[in-house]
Amino acid sequence: MPLHAQEPSVVDAVARAVGQDASSASGHHKVEALRMYLEQSIGLSKLVAAHRVMEKRSSAGASAADIDEQVLSIVGDDNARVLPVLRQLVEAERQLASPVRR
């Protein structure tokens, strides 16, 4: 799913926070903006651990509920609001890493 299709308001807000218009920001700028937002929200160590879990478990075909449960055990229930942003980050990174098909 494209980055902008999941939570455009979050992407817009994060892009604005780093001085970018979401419609004109490159994929790399959006990824960096999402990372900055997450790091400020939950801290670097939780971000790295949660990202690792989400990336590996989704690649392994784990259910979204299972992934969310494991990520919440890392970031804490009080930080549940970051789950959609973390999903966006992982998806945006995948899109950037995949070859462009024309």
pLDDT in tens, 29-78: 888 999 999 999 999 999 999 999 998 887 788 888 999 999 999 999 99
- At residue 7, the pLDDT reads 46
- At residue 8, the pLDDT reads 47
Instruction: Report how far residue 72's alpha carbon sits from residue 42's, in angstroms, rounded to the nearest whole number.
Output: 11
Whole-prediction pTM value? 0.72
Q: Which segment of 33-37, 39-43, 88-92, 94-98 scores lowest on mean pLDDT?
A: 94-98
Tokens standing for 86? 């973390």
- At residue 4, the pLDDT reads 39
Tokens standing for 51? 């990202």
Going by C-alpha positions, the residue among 26, 30, 28, 29 that lies closest to residue 6 is 30
Note whether 47 and 79 are within 8 A (CB): no
CA distances from 30 to 25, 64, 68, 77 (A): 6, 23, 22, 25
Q: Which residues of 44-57 are buried (b: 16+ CB within 10 A; e: fewer)?
A: eebbebbbebbbeb
